[in-house]
Structure 1
Amino acid sequence: MIIKPGDFIRNYRVLDYIGEGGMGKVYSAEEELLGRKVAIKMLDPSVTHQEHFRQRFINEARILSQLQHPHIVGLFTFFLEQESYFMVMEYAEGQTLRDLIATVGPIPEQRTRRILRQILSALDYAQTKGVVHRDIKPSNIMIGENDDLKILDFGVARILANPQFTLAGSRLGTIYYMSPEQVRSPRDVDSRSDIYSTGVVLYEMLTGRLPFSTETESDFLIEKQIVESPMPHPRDYYPYMSDHIVDLMNAMTAKEPSLRPTAAEAIRALDTSSLDSIKTAPPLSEKPVPVEPVAPTPIPPAPKKGMPPGLRAFLVIFIIAIILVTLGFMLKAWLDINPNLFGPRSEEAVAEETVEGPASEKETLSQEEIEANIAARKRREAENAVRSIRPRFSAIARKAREYKAQDEYGDWPKSLDAFIDPAEADTDQFNFDWSDDGIIIAISNRAFGKAGIEIYYTLDSDHFEIYDPDPENPPNIDPAWLN
């Protein structure tokens, strides 16, 4: 079912496409009779026939129907239309907490406290309903006007009284925010796991970064850090935070679930600026809050012999000359490494560089030789660009195979976006994409020298194919470059 702005789904007029998640697409719409703006989430038709995706989508609707809280996005209705499932939900204005952190970096402590209290309030309410979210993270928290927030996406949530809603053998959630027990035994998590995830979100708000390494591509290494390694001290990355908020974060991210506070206890700790409500309060932070240094009383310097004016001028000019020469060499080396730093060069510029030499030599080159030199230069640049993306293919393929190995149905994922951001794989010359039938695609752009070349890599057969829309013009890709 294809939906576009202006279409009607029952009595809802579609306004715009908002985005796409792991299971479906989300649209903004207007309810025709009430004039109310809503969000409509549709289960992707390509996965509707797969029982585990369909059951997870229905489970999300059932959970949301039980939750009515000012900081949890509300469900209006759920229905099946033309063999597609739809959820009509409250429309949350604003930006995600992830976007806010990316924009401002570390969030000031007072603002962080307001945001944290609202998250804890929603989790405290969900706990009374026996609901565990299991995927608390900044991209699932929408920040609206005056920092009023809504928690989104209960697609992997679980009702503790109904464990059959959790798929056997499944591990759901986002790895960087998983609790140690969620890593070890996904089916045995309870509300204390959400407290841990919220503690990681608190760390990210205070420092502008995640506590554990995001540079490794190994899920195993990240899981090992979560289970075994203590979190780095947040003041290692941003010093201006109180002992109290650091100690609260430490309590919320305790490795042992029984040592973490409940949401209600964490709220009381925030409101009273005291950890007395937490039974196992950690010791005060060892790193003191930085204090503005007091300027020392100036001591007059000892008198120095003056330097002759002529010598001083000579030294100044000499030092400036050394700096300029050094910068010149550094700039030339940088431009040699990044020849397309200021955009793709024209064919004339490439030809000029290719035929550098005495004027008499340039004049003896024919037009055919100049064009051959241009083609050779483009080929060298293309070869370097293609060879540089080969490791990215390998990294994406490894992630996809890990995902498939966890899928009891053996299907390739609808999208790898759930755990790989395409922008992280993109280069200056190629943009990456992938499909649900196990194919990774790299598409060249203008910086490559010729846009539209597509490199297909089939995961099942470990096979590359190349499509060149303009094979008559260089650069042309040699399959050997990908080996």
Structure 2
Amino acid sequence: MKKPSDQQITALQRSLSMPTDIEITGYLGTGARAHVFKANMGGNNVIVKVYREEAIQKYHHKYGVDIAEFEYQRNQSLFSLESIKKHIAQPFRVYPSSNKYTHCMIQEYISGRTLKDLIIELGHLPREVLEAGYRIVRQAEENGVHDLDISSKNVMIVDQRDELIPKLYDFNLMPQCQHAPNPFLWLAIKLGIRARSYRDYRNLKKWEKRGRDAR
């Protein structure tokens, strides 16, 4: 996704309507569905995900959900699982389209590097990271959360007391088991021919391949 110009970023930031306890401190980047700002909230570093209008409309008309509430609920459902809590960015607040504030979600700010960058830097995929990835996916699967969008560029790695901790922060991908892109896939999922978490396990295999290719 092409980064907005400085003028566009300034205009977007000026258009934000936030509670008084949230101070925007910088622009972090953009993705397919949201612009991401860094902010301070009560002394805590957080991010503010400001959803793109086209994403808002797509999720409303095609899926019948508010994208901010949808992401917040998926984020919260995983963060509430003690076994994988340390691997999930903490969700703080959500401001849906019906709110007086900008349509957004407030989430923990994660300082680290992407899994993709870690593999490039080390020349391999650390086993502890891969094992954590499988643990996250299995726990999510057991609790009915699928399609985590865990590509190697979408997972942050936090180095905490000599432990490499993968952390997930992107939860707005619509699961195919809820809205399959075509009737054949819908039938395959319904009949159990294709697992609901198929894409998650496929991404883990891609982690492994990227690790092997980096050697």
> Scaled by the length of structure 2, what TM-score is found?
0.72
Any conservation in 1 of the 2:95–2:101 contact (CA below 8 Å)?
no
**Quick check: which one's strand share is greater?**
2
1:79 to 95, 112, 118: 95
> Where does residue 91 of structure 1 map in the other structure?
109
* Larger RCO, structures 1/2 (Cα 8 Å, 6+ apart): 2
Within-5 A mapping of 1:35-434: 35-50=43-58, 51=60, 52=62, 55=65, 57=67, 58-68=69-79, 69-80=85-96, 81-82=99-100, 84-102=102-120, 104=121, 106-107=123-124, 112-145=126-159, 146=162, 147-158=164-175, 166-169=178-181, 188-208=194-214, 238=215
Aligned AA for 2:28?
I
CA-CA distance at 1:53 after TM superposition: 7.5
Q: Deviation per CA, 1:227-268, whole angstroms, max 9, x where unpaired?
A: xxxxxxxxxxx4xxxxxxxxxxxxxxxxxxxxxxxxxxxxxx
- Partners of 2:38 and 2:47 within 8 A in 1: yes
Superposed CA offset, 1:144-177 (max 9, x none): 124222023122153x9xx5xx335269xxxxxx
Inter-partner Cα distance in structure 1 for 2:130 and 2:196: 20
Deviation, 1:74, is: 2.2
Shift of 1:125: 2.0
Superposed displacement of residue 37, structure 1: 0.8
Aligned: 1:9 with 2:18: yes
Q: For 2:110 and 2:64, how far apart are their aligned partners in 1?
A: 24
Residue identity opposite 1:73 in structure 2 = A
Structure possessing the higher radius of gyration over alpha carbons: 1
Q: Please state whether the residue corresponding to 2:126 is helix, strand or coil.
A: helix
Cα distance change of structure 1 residues 88 and 114 upon mapping to structure 2, 3 Å threshold: same
Task: Report the AA paired with residue 119 of structure 1.
Answer: G
Shift of residue 17, structure 1, vs aligned partner: 0.8
Cα deviation 1:41-83 (Å, max 9, x = unaligned):
1111354334238837232222112111111222111113457
8 Å Cα contact 2:34-2:51 kept in structure 1 = yes
- What letter matches 1:59 in structure 2? F
Q: CA deviation at 1:123?
A: 1.5
Which protein has the bigger helix share?
1
Maintained 8 Å contact 1:72/1:122: no
1:452-471 paired onto structure 2 within 5 Å? none
- Does the residue aligned with 1:67 lie in a helix, a strand or coil? helix
Q: In 2 relative to 1, CA 144–54 (structure 1 residues): closer, same or farther, beyond 3 Å?
A: farther
CA RMSD in angstroms comes to 3.2
Does the 8 Å contact 1:45/1:84 carry over to 2?
no
Tell me the secondary structure at the aligned position of residue 139 of structure 2. helix
Structure 2 match to 1:331: none
The residue identity in structure 1 corresponding to 2:205 is: G
Cα distance 1:99–1:28, how it changes in 2: closer, same or farther (>3 A)?
same
Superposed displacement of residue 24, structure 1: 1.0
Which runs of no fewer than 5 residues in structure 2 stay unpaired? 1-10, 80-84
Query: 1:93, 1:170 → 2: CA distance?
Result: 38
Partner residue, 1:176: none
Quickly say closer, same or farther: Cα 1:196–1:56, change in 2 above 3 A. farther
Structure 2 distance, partners of 1:142, 1:74, is 13
One-letter amino acid of the counterpart of residue 72, structure 2: A
Q: Aligned equivalents of 1:83 and 1:14: distance in 2?
A: 14
